[in-house]
Amino acid sequence: MRSKRRPIDREAAEAMAVQGLAFLAEEPARLQRFLLATGLEAGEIRARAGSPELMSAVLEHLAGDESLLLVFAASRQIAPDSIAPAIRALLAPQP
């Protein structure tokens, strides 16, 4: 039987993405892989902080590497399967 979790709203998704960015920044090699994968430069992260595009890119990067995702999820006590709904919440049109 599946547990019924509350849907992830935009605010929770944004908080998760901020945690994801902090997790990436904790290790320079992790952050460098993210920058290379997205084509962003370090200075752009500050300029784009809080944008849905950057936040969803962080979560998509984590979701794209299962071992990285599992380490992130364990370190932040987040269910790994909550990342995909968070990405959808960030990409959903705002009312």
Residue 1 is assigned to a structural domain of this protein:
no
- Which tokens hold the place of 21? 């960015």
Per the structure, the count of domains in the chain is 1
Residue 75 is assigned to a structural domain of this protein:
yes
Q: Which domain holds residue 39?
A: 10-91
Per-residue pLDDT reduced to its tens digit, 15-69: 999 999 999 999 999 999 999 999 999 888 888 888 889 999 999 999 999 999 9
Residue 46 is assigned to a structural domain of this protein:
yes
Residue 2 is assigned to a structural domain of this protein:
no
Residue 3 is assigned to a structural domain of this protein:
no
CA 49 to CA 56: how far, in whole Å? 11
CA 47 to CA 85: how far, in whole Å? 25
Residue 50 is assigned to a structural domain of this protein:
yes
Q: What is the pTM of this model?
A: 0.88
- Using only C-alpha atoms, the chain has a radius of gyration, in whole angstroms, of 13
Q: What angle do CA 10, 73, 82 make, to 5 degrees?
A: 40
